[in-house]
Structure 1
Amino acid sequence: MLFTTPTELVALLLMLIVGLCFGLAIAPGGGKWRRLYERERDEHASYRRSTDTRLRETEAAMTLRDRRVAELEAADARSAAIRDAAARDAAAQEAAARATPPVAAPPADSATLDPRPRPA
C-alpha cells in the first residue's frame, strides 16, 4: 500500500502544498473568469431590458386590442337592439294591418273615372 508511514504522508502533504502554491503563482489571477462573468452579466441585463420592452409593447397592444373589441361588441349590441326594435315595429304594423278591415273601393264605372262633364 502506498503512503503508509507518517514520513511519507508528510511528504505527500508538503508536495500538495507546494503544488498549490506553484499553481497560484503561475495562474493569471482569475481575470479570465471575471471577464466571462462580467460579459455574461451584461448579456443577461441586455436580454432582460429587451424582454421587458417587448412585454410592455405587447401589453399595450393587447390593451388597444381589448378596447377595440369592447367598442365593436358595444356597436354590435346597439345594432342588434335597432334590428330588434325594427322587427317589433314591422310586426306591430303587420298585426295592425291585419286587424283593420279592408277599405271597400268605390265601384269602377266609366262615369266616376272620367272627371270631365258629359254632354247631355
Structure 2
Amino acid sequence: MMAFTATQFAILALVLVAGWFLGLASHPGGRKWRDRYAAERDAHATSRKDAEARIATEKSRQIELERENARLRGAAPVTAQTIAPRTVAPGARPVARPAYPAGERRGWFEFGPRTAV
C-alpha cells in the first residue's frame, strides 16, 4: 500500500477546496428554491383557507338540517284525515293509455302483428 506524503495531502486539500469553490460558483443560488418555497407556501395557505371555508359551510348546513329534523319530529304525523281526498272530474279521461289499441297486438319490435301459435 502506498503512503501519502505531505505534498500529496496538500494537493488533495487544495483540490477539495477548489471543488467547493467551483460548486459555489456554478450554483444558481437560492432564489429559485426560495421562489418555489414561497409559491408552495401560498398554495398551501389558499387550499387551507378553502378547506376551512368548506368545513364552515358544511357545519352551517348540518345545523340547518338538524333544525329541520327537529321541526319535522315535532310536526303532526300524516294520516288519512290530513290528506285531502282525490276527486276525479266527471268525463275526465284516464291518464294511462294502453300500449296498443284493443284487439291489435304487435309482434317483436313492433314490426307486424303477432301470429297465433
TM norm structure 1 = 0.56
Change (3 A) 1:64 1:56: same
Change (3 A) 1:2 1:18: farther
- More moved, 36-45 vs 67-76: 67-76
**Corresponding position of 2:62:** 62
List aligned pairs for 1:9-20, cutoff 5 A: 9-20=9-20
Structure 1 Cα separation of the partners of residues 16 and 9 of structure 2: 11
Normalised by the length of structure 2, the TM-score is 0.57
Structure 1 residues 15 and 68: alpha-carbon distance in aligned structure 2, compared to 1, 3 A threshold = same
| Correspondences of 1:80-99 after superposition (within 5 Å) | none
> How many residue pairs were aligned?
78
Kindly state the Cα deviation for residue 38 of structure 1 after the two structures are TM-superposed.
0.6
What runs of 5+ residues in structure 2 fail to find an aligned partner?
A: 79-117
**Greater share of residues in helix:** 1
Segments ≥4 residues shifted beyond 6 Å: none
Instruction: Decide which structure has the larger Cα Rg and report it.
Output: 1
Q: CA deviation at 1:33?
A: 0.6
Cα offset, 1:63, TM superposition: 0.5
Q: Tell me, what secondary structure is at the counterpart of 1:21? A: helix
Separation in structure 1 between the aligned mates of residue 43 and residue 32 of structure 2, nearest angstrom: 17
Structure 1: give runs of 5+ residues left out of the alignment: 81-120
Equivalent residue for 2:28?
Answer: 28
In the other structure, the counterpart of 1:90 is none
The residue identity in structure 2 corresponding to 1:49 is: K
Which whole-Å CA distance do the structure 1 matches of 2:2 and 2:73 have between them?
A: 86
1:74 maps to what in 2? Answer: 74
Q: 1:5 to 1:73 in 2, by over 3 A?
A: farther
Q: Distance in 2 between matches of 1:2 and 1:62?
A: 79
For 1:104, the equivalent position in structure 2 comes to none
Percent same amino acid among aligned pairs? 36
Matched with 2:50 is 50
Report the CA distance between 1:36 and its aligned residue: 0.7
